[in-house]
Amino acid sequence: MPAIHAVQKIASLAAKFVVEQEGKWNHDDWEGLLQKAAKIGLELNSETERNLGMLAESAKHFYLHPPKKKAAAGPAKAVAKRAAKGERARA
């Protein structure tokens, strides 16, 4: 199994924070996130904190406004869609 990239760890940390906080947090909560970020090796400076904050705010947007679920395409609909694209039917 490949190693988890640092960006995946940071994005996961921000997403988990937003979900656990239900999309709202205060300064103490933010400080707690910064402590967790430091524990995974993130060097805290003003630029890093600003970017982590933007990541959390972006995750908050998607937490509060999740994408709408698409209805599952039935077999007939999938065949018609492929036919419209000029694809041959699968055997």
Domain definitions of the chain by residue range? 1-91
Q: How far apart are CA 11 and CA 55, in angstroms?
A: 7
User: Quick one: CA torsion of 45, 49, 55, 59, rounded to 10 degrees?
Assistant: 150
Nearest to 18 by CA among 64, 51, 76: 64
Q: Report whether 56 contacts 11 (CB < 8 A).
A: no
Global pTM reads 0.72
Task: Please give the pLDDT value at position 75.
Answer: 66
Q: How far apart are CA 13 and CA 11, in angstroms?
A: 5
Kindly report, residue by residue over 28-39, the tens digit of the pLDDT: 999 999 999 999
Kindly report, residue by residue over 12-23, the tens digit of the pLDDT: 999 999 999 999
